[in-house]
Structure 1
């Protein structure tokens, strides 16, 4: 019995060791670097994971060799008979997009993809493949390709890059340039998003949860749509909820002015005028000042001047109503009255920062020049 027990213990030890080893994270100890990078474009997250090989003295012997072969080749293992380069080392490189995107103008659905490149001497083909779990390109199947995009590489870069890297450059609100960089080659392409569509979809998802009961969140959503002239009907629903006391809303100047702006863009002028008047009645001195400046930015100079006058009368000339009138008269072309109010505002300036700004404003107007708004 003792002998049987000893044998069972000896048999179980390797199994237990294997189970513990599966839970333990240790350094790879390999010659390639496990790497990842990410970027957000609008509301779209882009993530790239790859194993980075090094040049290791092979400069001039990378491209078009077994290290990074040209075209599609039989690499002698696995089920693939014609494999592109795995655009990295070890496991296949992966790219993941949280929303639909375009790659150099070609549509690609949201998801995670295995990423390969068919490299040629003066061009290349980017390949996005459904299998994001393969090891290298040994099991690559062309029927799983979702998108292929032809590109041209930038060769003879002035600085050699030792470790293969993916980089992001030239970001805008709707796009970013992604590039594979290794040795003296750079292979760039542009990932772009439909900013309005993806943002509206993101807003809807967020408002379907707890944020859908939060007036500031709904007001921010409605204002974004107003500013970007998109999804106006639904935005007006959000704006209505924001100011509805029965739903926990509060009729603030910001919320009401957003609602009025949406009504105006939808052609409901009478409703917009009524809502905006309610907003003006609830506005603070700074609310009205900011609204007047916004109208100047929209080149509605006479409307802006009327708001600044209303603010001055309502608040009995308190700070910063003289500043507003200086800006309003200047925008409307009456520099003499603008100077009068700028000088009056200078006497009220609450701190050095405002005093210095107003001194510049006064000097500009004395030179017969309009204020920069």
Structure 2
């Protein structure tokens, strides 16, 4: 019987002309397979400039900052890696983004609710802070000044010790204000943020306390807000009376006691504080025990 010999495939493939469509197709396929292999071989490591988010409620507004945190790594930043007099992305990678849930005051200027890019222009003795409509840019390469919402200048502070990673934090809190602090190397700049919800709260108090079905929670909040903001103490006491009449707890006695003490009626304040103290001691609430004891001590004085 006659047998056919099978030759290796390598010898059966004819050379492909260098300019033929087939060679281009083979090259493209090989490149595609190489890219797939490269993508599959990636190793995940910590980012050089890791992403971070900080958020703080100021007044009734939520203020959020999304940014990336580059490191010094022995380099000089301001005036060198970050040149003076040039627009900076204020971090690394994507532009640093500021989002506010309500209209707030930034450096005493109104900023509507929304998201904004924070650009800065560092200088040795003065920084320019820029809030721009473009909150999703990569870096400052396509910065457009016509999209600026506001610009203002702040004075940088010198830190006593260097900050390795670029850091944004909320500092100097009050119920309605905070500073947004940018810190890196030995430099710190702060951006004042304010949200004063007083008009909104007063409108809510007027509306809610007028309802026939208003409960002790409404009256408690209204009385306490009047106390905290030094408003009509007679009205605050009237609401506190409604609270205590329906719910005799150590915290409701404390509400009425502190209002009476502020009005100068120490006799009534002591009576409520003593009753509240006994209930707080039974409950083991150390904070309220101290609150009532302070009223008793202050009224003795």
TM-score tier by shorter-chain length is 0.5 to 0.7
TM-score when normalising by structure 1 = 0.54
Distance 1:182 1:350 in 2: 51
**Structure 1: runs of 5+ lacking an equivalent:** 1-6, 73-83, 201-224, 312-319, 328-344
Cα contact 1:54–1:162 (8 A) shared by 2: yes
Task: Identify, as 1 or 2, the structure richer in helix.
Answer: 1
Partners in 1 of 2:67 and 2:252 — Cα distance?
Answer: 54
Alignment of 1:254-333 (within 5 A): 284=248, 289-290=253-254, 293-301=257-265, 304=268, 323=274
Q: Quote the Cα distance in structure 1 between the aligned partners of 2:58 and 2:181.
A: 16
Q: Does 1 or 2 have the higher relative contact order (CA < 8 Å, sep 6+)? A: 2
Shift of 1:121: 2.0
Name the counterpart of 1:53: 70
Shift of 1:284: 4.9
Q: 126, 140, 143: which one pairs with 2:129? A: 126
2:69–2:91 contact (8 Å) kept in structure 1: yes
Segments of 4+ in structure 1 off by > 3 A? Answer: 26-30, 254-262, 275-292, 302-305, 349-354
**Residues 93, 27 of structure 1: alpha-carbon distance in 2 compared, 3 angstrom cutoff:** farther
Shift in Å, 1:177: 1.5
The residue number in structure 2 matching 1:64 is 79
Question: How has the CA–CA distance of structure 1 residues 289 and 56 changed in structure 2, closer, same or farther, with 3 Å as cutoff?
Answer: closer
Q: Which secondary structure state, in structure 2, belongs to the residue aligned with residue 160 of structure 1? A: strand
User: Residues of 1 paired with 2:253 and 2:163: CA distance?
Assistant: 54
Q: 1:158 to 1:132 in 2, by over 3 A?
A: same
List aligned pairs for 1:225-240, cutoff 5 A.
225=201, 230-231=202-203, 235-240=205-210
More displaced stretch, 181-190 vs 31-40 = 31-40
Deviation of 1:304 after TM superposition, in Å, equals 3.3
In 2 relative to 1, CA 255–177 (structure 1 residues): closer, same or farther, beyond 3 Å? closer
Q: What displacement does 1:296 show? A: 2.1
SS in 2 for 1:90: coil
Q: Would you say the 8 A contact 1:295–1:303 is kept in 2?
A: no
Query: How far off is 1:295 after superposition?
Result: 4.3
Question: Residue 240 of structure 1: CA displacement?
Answer: 3.6
Displacement of 1:107 in angstroms is 2.1
Q: Which has the larger radius of gyration?
A: 2
Report if aligned partners of 1:103, 1:149 keep a CA contact under 8 Å in 2: no
Aligned length in residues: 251
2:94 to 91, 96, 117: 91
TM-aligned CA deviation for residue 125 of structure 1:
0.3
Q: 1:138 aligns with which of 119, 129, 141?
A: 141
TM-score w.r.t. the length of structure 2 is 0.65
Q: What is the deviation of 1:90? A: 1.6
- Give the 3-state SS of the residue equivalent to 1:296 in structure 2: helix
Q: 1:158 to 1:350 in 2, by over 3 A?
A: closer
Is the contact made by 1:240 and 1:259 (CA closer than 8 Å) also made in structure 2? no
Matches of 1:353 and 1:35, distance apart in 2:
37
For residues 38 and 303 of structure 1, do their structure 2 counterparts lie closer, same or farther at Cα, with a shift above 3 Å needed? same
Partner of 1:175: 177
Contact 1:295–1:304 (Cα < 8 Å) also in 2:
no
| The 10-residue stretch of structure 1 (91-100 or 29-38) with the greater mean CA deviation from structure 2 | 29-38
Distance 2:91 2:266 in 1: 62
CA-atom RMSD, angstroms?
A: 4.5
Mapped contact 2:178–2:192 kept (Cα < 8 A): yes
Structure-2 change in CA distance of 1:138 and 1:303 (3 Å): same
Larger strand proportion of the pair: 2
Instruction: State the distance in 1 between where 2:147 and 2:191 align.
Output: 21
Please say which of residues 27-36 and 45-54 is displaced more in the overlay.
27-36
